[in-house]
Structures are given as C-alpha cells and as structure tokens.
C-alpha cells in the first residue's frame, strides 16, 4: 500500500522540517515490513487569492489533482474523529488487508478544506479540538504513521 501526505504550505528549514524528515525516514524504513510500498509527502502551494472561499477552492483543485482515483481519502481537521494510536493502526491494517492500493492524507491550508473534498473523504481525523499549526499537524501525522507501523510489526504498545 502506498501512503501519500498532501499538505498545503511548505515546511521551512528548521526544527519542524528536521523532525518531519526524521519521522518520514522512520516510517519509510519500518513500513516495508508491514506492506507499505512507499510514503511520500507532497507540498501544495498556498493560494494567494484575496478571498478565503477562493483560496480554499484553488487549494482543493490542486489537492484533487494529486489524489489517485481509487485512493482512500483521509482529511485532517479539528472537527474530525479522534482515533487512538491502536485504532489508527487497525484502520490502516484494514485498508491494507482489504487490498487498498493508496491512502491519501490531506492537510488543508489555513482556511481549511473545501466542501468538494470533504464529500470525497472516507474519514476525517482530528488530533483534538485545538487548532494546530499545519506544520505540527504534519509532524503529528508522520509520528502516528510511524507508531502505527511499529504496532503492526508487533512492537508492544506501552498503553496496553
């Protein structure tokens, strides 16, 4: 299974970029043992439109062009469902074991995600009700993907 993280905005060089790169490397290396062919992060340019609705629409078009037709679409949004790490790992395993070829995680821009993409999503995930900077959401997602991979590969979970 291929994992694709689509993120509106760019991580600038620094601590956040370093931490994201570290988790991306970890999940890539460990993921092979549990059937993950690849994981890729693609940055989508933020819209420069003056109007928030127009920005969301332009970003949604750019994101939609990157999503494979048969992919499971997962949105990250504070209004989404909170899954514990074990449940997140089980969800990934269910998609993998069901023969899903691609799972795409979308981190929208500062204005959020257009309704056109919301309607296509299989699930909307939240890292809690707080508003997080998009850079941190990316790091938290990569960390949770890494944690899921370790759980799927049989590492004991300290919360059990």
Domain 2-152: which topology? Alpha/beta knot (3.40.1280)
pLDDT tens for 65-114 read 999 999 999 999 888 999 999 999 999 999 999 999 999 999 998 888 99
SS3 label, residue 5: strand
Domain boundaries along the sequence of the chain: 2-152
Q: What is the pLDDT of residue 110?
A: 86
In sequence order, which residues have a C-beta less than 8 Å from that of residue 155 and are 6 or more positions away?
Answer: none
160 pLDDT band, cuts 50/70/90, is low
Q: What is the pLDDT of residue 155?
A: 75
Please state, in angstroms and rounded to a whole number, the distance separating the CA atoms of residues 136 and 19: 10
pTM of the shown model: 0.93
| Average pLDDT score over residue span 1-11 | 95
Share of the chain above pLDDT 90, in %: 76
Q: What is the pLDDT of residue 85?
A: 92
């Amino acid at each position: 299974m291929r994992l694709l993280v689509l993120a509106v905005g760019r991580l600038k060089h620094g601590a956040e970029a370093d931490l994201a790169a570290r988790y991306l490397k970890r999940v890539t290396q460990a993921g092979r043992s549990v059937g993950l062919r690849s994981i890729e992060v693609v940055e989508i340019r933020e819209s420069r439109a003056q109007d928030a609705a127009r920005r969301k629409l332009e970003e949604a078009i750019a994101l939609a062009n990157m999503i494979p037709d048969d992919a499971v679409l997962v949105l990250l949004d504070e209004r989404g469902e909170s899954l514990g790490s074990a449940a997140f790992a089980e969800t990934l395993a269910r998609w993998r074991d069901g023969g899903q070829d691609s799972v795409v995680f979308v981190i929208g821009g500062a204005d959020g995600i257009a309704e056109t993409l919301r309607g296509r999503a299989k699930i909307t995930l939240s890292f809690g009700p707080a508003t997080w900077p998009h850079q941190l959401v990316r790091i938290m997602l990569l960390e949770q993907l890494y944690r899921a991979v370790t759980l799927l590969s049989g590492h004991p979970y300290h919360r059990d």
